[in-house]
């Protein structure tokens, strides 16, 4: 079964726009699990413009499924992940002020840095995943980092999908086949939605988990969060 991890950053963004605690990020995470999500993802950025470091601390005791913390591995981020005992950490190559993730790691350039950081997380018993573009040559280097999984950056798939879904998915199939041959687990995320998820899930060998936030939360405005999570799970079972 492919797991659905709900990224709740947008809920924190909405709360922060007004101040106070509406909507309640912690209650929302509990409800997502209750409605069928198999994981909760958060991406605490240095400016804390959505998920805050305090949110991470409050979420850890109440998330009973997989708690996935993603972000750029500054020393502060590393300490936050380890002190809160994440089940999985997803490393992304974001700049500090970046609006959203827009590319994967150049593993060749950052190999030694990734090896050092991943070793720290593995010593703490935390599963690691690194954000990558669908490039087999990059993925071939992933085992050298020591990572458990990769997360395929799916923006180009989502962008091309409406015009040519076969062309959109083809590089991801090749990337996934490379990861499977290497024994590396496969996650995916970014711009996946109810429109394009089923086709992706059916065609990607070895896919274990998708992390979805923006589209899922936006669709929940129309369908309700309980119904939306169930709709996503149906797409994944497809």
Q: Which of 33, 43, 151, 209 is catalytic?
A: 43
Question: Residue 110, CB half-sphere, CA atoms under 13 Å: how many?
Answer: 18
Q: Note if 190 is an active site residue.
A: yes
How far is Cα 213 from Cα 41, in angstroms, rounded to an integer? 8
CA distance 6 to 29: 8
Q: Which of 3, 50, 66, 70 is catalytic?
A: 70
To which residue do tokens 């935390």 refer? 126
**Which one of 33, 151, 190, 209 is the catalytic residue?**
190
CA 51 to centroid of chain Cα atoms: 14
**Rounded Cα distance, 146 and 144, in Å:** 5
Q: Angle 225-237/25-34 helices, nearest 10 degrees?
A: 40
CA-to-CA distance for 92 and 70, rounded, in angstroms? 7
192 phi and psi, to 5 degrees? -70, 145
Q: What distance lies between CA 86 and its chain's CA centroid? A: 13
As given in the structure block, the two tokens for residue 137 are 């040559």
Prior bond to 71 cis, omega within 30? no
CA–CA dist 51, 208 (Å, integer): 25
Active site residues: 43, 70, 190
């Amino acid at each position: 079964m492919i797991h659905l991890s709900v990224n709740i950053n947008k809920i924190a963004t909405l709360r922060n726009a007004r101040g106070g605690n509406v909507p309640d990020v912690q209650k929302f995470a509990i409800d997502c699990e209750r409605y069928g999500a198999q994981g909760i993802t958060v991406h605490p950025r240095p400016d804390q413009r959505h998920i805050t470091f305090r949110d991470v601390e409050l979420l850890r005791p109440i998330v009973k499924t997989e708690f996935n913390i993603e972000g750029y591995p500054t020393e502060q981020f590393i300490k936050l992940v380890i002190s809160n005992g994440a089940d999985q950490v997803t490393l992304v190559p974001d700049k500090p002020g970046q609006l959203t993730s827009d590319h994967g790691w150049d593993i060749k350039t950052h190999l030694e840095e990734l090896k050092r950081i991943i070793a720290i997380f593995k010593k703490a018993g935390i599963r690691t995943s690194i954000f990558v573009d669908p490039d087999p040559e990059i993925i071939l280097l992933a085992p050298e980092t020591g990572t458990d999984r990769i997360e395929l950056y799916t923006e180009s798939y989502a962008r091309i999908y409406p015009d040519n879904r076969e062309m959109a998915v083809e590089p991801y199939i090749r990337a996934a086949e490379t990861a499977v041959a290497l024994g590396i687990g496969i996650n995916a995320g970014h711009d996946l939605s109810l429109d394009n998820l089923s086709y992706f899930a059916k065609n990607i060998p070895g896919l274990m988990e998708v992390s979805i936030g923006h589209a899922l939360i936006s669709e929940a405005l129309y369908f309700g969060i309980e119904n939306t999570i169930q709709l996503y799970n149906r797409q994944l079972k497809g």
